[in-house]
Structure 1
Amino acid sequence: MNTLFLDAAWSKQTERPPVWMMRQAGRFMPEYWEIKNKYSFLEMCKTPEIAADVTMLPVDLLGIDAAILFCDILVTAEAMGGDLSFTQGIGPRFANPVRNMKDVENLNVDCLDKLEYVADAIKVIQQRLNGSIPLIGFAGAPFTVMSYLVEGESSKDFKKTKLLMHNHPEIAHQLLAKIAKVTAAYLNLQIAAGVNAIQIFDSWAMALSWNDYAEFSHQYIKEIIANLDRRDIPVISFCKGSSVFAPMMATAQPDVISVDWNADLLNIKQSLPAGIAVQGNLDPHILYADKPAIKKAVLQLIERMRGENGFIFNLGHGIMPDIPFDNVKYAIELIKEFRY
């Protein structure tokens, strides 16, 4: 196996930074659309062979150092009883949003059987990978999953979620506790099925103040990580907002903190306890630019991290759908050619 990614996650010395990119099996690839035009998004997630096909696209076409399971962060909420759908150009929707304690009580935490298709997909993907590179499993963090359940859809201001948190914190905490319990069990299901690493995505944490992040996000991520069957599985914690929240995130004891693009990555790394690796943090918008600009930004980040063990090259957030495929491939090739 190419162990570059795992070595960096464990803060070991590597000859170059390993590279993978969030949303690397996605809508910027024509090959993705060949599959997507035949199936709905949820069909793709729930059919192990199709999920494996999509997971393998960046492995085969980009030559990345780690694969990540093709799925969605909201499958846990659906398994608990959320009526989930995806609409082209709009995104995820829950037809039965959570607004009161009765709605929370109606959500089922004994729902792991409904997520068995994810374990099945992992097994198919690992057969296809055949030990070549590690496979990352993942889940959505409780606050982010809660925000979709409460808003009923994507939101710019998270008004309903914040009103629930501030006016009815007992309802918010009951909901978060349920999501956290399911998430820990779901990640352990992925570990048992054979993933080599785990990433927790708190995509909307940047909407929170420091105190609200501590109360409504961090404590639940800490609980999830404490309940994982970690053995030799590195755990990556990511949130948009990690440039601010990294010191608090470290106290949940992840192995890697994935950093958005608003901070200097070396400063973050050096502020963290020894043994915590960092992942990131190229601004994905750079990949729209001309190749000389991409080269400058990529090499600048790698040079900045020269001499630091525990650096995984990634974006500060996911690849946007209209980024040119050739630009992504070019960036990855630059990183793979680099030697310290």
Structure 2
Amino acid sequence: MLQALAGRRPARTPVWFMRQAGRSLPEYRALRERAGASMLDVCLWPQAAAQATLQPVRRHGVDAAVLFSDIMVPLRLAGVEVRIEPGVGPVLDAPVRDAAQVARVVARRFGDAERAGTGADGGALDGAAGAAAVEAAVRAVVAELGSPGHAGRHADHGARPGADPEARGDDAGGWSTLTPRARAGLAQSRGEAAWTPLLGFGGAPFTLVAYLAEGRPSRDHLAARTLMHADPAAWDALMTWAAHLTGAFMATQVRAGAAAVQLFDSWAGSLPAVDYREKVAPYSALALDLARDAVSATTGRPAAAIHFATRAEHLLPELHRTGADVVGVDECSDLGEASRWLGDRPVQGNLNPALLGAPWEVLARGVDACLEAGRAAPAHVFNLGHGVPPTSDPDVLTRVVARVHGSTDWEDAALAGWDGEA
């Protein structure tokens, strides 16, 4: 995975799925039912967040974990009141649409919230405790994934990082309780490497500001686009604040052990290229710079950065210019053409998520076509063109991983099905 993000084509194409941790997995739904709490609260429960992060790695054998969290979490940690309503999405009761409202919100800082959520013990969490919970979840994940940043505490056991925790005398991540199938998933994930990297992520400034201005999901993001042109000074203040907020969130994950990060811009595709270039791209670049100022506890280096926007074919050159190491491509773009436009940048994507519900022979052709298109780039990280649909069959996702990896053994495991989470 990290070789591909650095622009070097590895022996097998790495694969992970956006939204791989979450609704498509029965074990995740069982976790949420046991928790009996809102998603944003569960994001701040280190043990539960770590478990949700690890579930798809154990089941699918993907080449990277992605932290179970939400782009709204840093808003919560700064004291912005936001909730996720089922069937709707993020909702804020106090939208930010004028200079006075902007001035109030930008006075808040990452980790400053008096109340950011409710902990697993039922107690209140403030912003600082919430940020510490994110760090704790990351550390728990990278421990099970065998990350080299944990080599020091395993040195006395004489085992290389990533070796079976039982062989080195500890039980990182509850290894001894895992089923053989879950252990096989972790082994498939690592491949010939000794460990699996964790990806952190954050929401791009425009997407955060779109939610702040609209108060809920929107088709046209008119309130945000109006503020952009009606009050440039307020826009600059709000976007700068959002860049620092999401940059701090990603940097927190990196310092705790994430080896790479992805900046999600869900709504940038609604913008003309000139508006994106002049009014949005500089702030995304700032967020990425802040994330890469942090040094990963796992690799000892700054994190590689992926930038992904939906419905953004017309913005691909601009996404490239934000300085991201890798550009994500959604299913509405031609991956081969995008690779040629991006030149020296590796690409990520772009299997149509709708194919996951098609007959296997149709899906398999789509996987192969995506792999072939990705050969036009210096390196390719296989992914969907957007997130995993909640109705997806998890065994189909595992079979996709097997095909990307070219592993008949892993395809046999996918066809045998999942034996349940320990």
TM tier relative to shorter chain: over 0.9
* 1:128 correspondence with 2:144: yes
Per the normalisation by structure 1, the TM-score is 0.93
Assess if the C-alpha contact under 8 Å between 1:97 and 1:149 holds in 2: yes
Q: Percent identity?
A: 34
Aligned partners of 1:301, 1:180: CA distance in 2, in Å? 32
Point out the more displaced range, 252-261 or 82-91. Answer: 82-91
Assess if the C-alpha contact under 8 Å between 1:122 and 1:190 holds in 2: yes
* 1:299 correspondence with 2:368: yes
TM-fit CA distance, 1:303: 2.1
**What does the per-residue CA deviation read over 1:107-152, in whole Å, with 9 as the maximum and x for residues that have no partner?**
2443233523211211111112223200000110000001111111
TM-fit CA distance, 1:102: 2.0
Assess if the C-alpha contact under 8 Å between 1:14 and 1:309 holds in 2: no
SS at match of 1:305: helix
Aligned partners of 1:96, 1:22: CA distance in 2, in Å? 30
Runs (4+) of structure 1 exceeding 4 A deviation are none
**Partner of residue 229, structure 1:** 293
**What does the per-residue CA deviation read over 1:268-302, in whole Å, with 9 as the maximum and x for residues that have no partner?**
1122242x210001111111111111001001111
Q: How does 1:1-340 map to 2 (within 5 A)?
A: 5-38=1-34, 39-107=37-105, 108-112=107-111, 113=128, 114-131=130-147, 132-227=195-290, 228-229=292-293, 231-274=301-344, 276-306=345-375, 308-337=377-406
Using CA pairs under 8 Å that are at least 6 residues apart, name the structure with larger relative contact order, 1 or 2.
1
Aligned partners of 1:12, 1:149: CA distance in 2, in Å? 39
SS at match of 1:257: strand
Aligned partners of 2:395, 2:67: CA distance in 1, in Å? 22
- The alignment's C-alpha RMSD in Å is 1.8
Residue ranges of structure 2 left out of the alignment (5+ in a row): 112-127, 148-194, 295-300, 409-422
| Counterpart amino acid of residue 285 in structure 1 | A
| Counterpart amino acid of residue 204 in structure 2 | A
> Which structure would you say has the larger Rg?
2
Assess if the C-alpha contact under 8 Å between 1:24 and 1:58 holds in 2: yes
SS at match of 1:199: strand
SS at match of 1:306: helix
SS at match of 2:261: strand
Point out the more displaced range, 60-69 or 81-90. Answer: 81-90
**What does the per-residue CA deviation read over 1:75-112, in whole Å, with 9 as the maximum and x for residues that have no partner?**
12222332111222222111222122222222244323
| Counterpart amino acid of residue 110 in structure 2 | C
Aligned partners of 1:171, 1:79: CA distance in 2, in Å? 22
Assess if the C-alpha contact under 8 Å between 1:16 and 1:338 holds in 2: no
SS at match of 1:139: strand
Assess if the C-alpha contact under 8 Å between 2:64 and 2:196 holds in 1: yes
TM-fit CA distance, 1:232: 4.1
Assess if the C-alpha contact under 8 Å between 1:45 and 1:70 holds in 2: yes
Counting matched residue pairs gives: 334
Aligned partners of 1:305, 1:22: CA distance in 2, in Å? 17
SS at match of 1:27: coil
Aligned partners of 1:75, 1:213: CA distance in 2, in Å? 24
SS at match of 1:138: strand
Aligned partners of 1:193, 1:206: CA distance in 2, in Å? 32
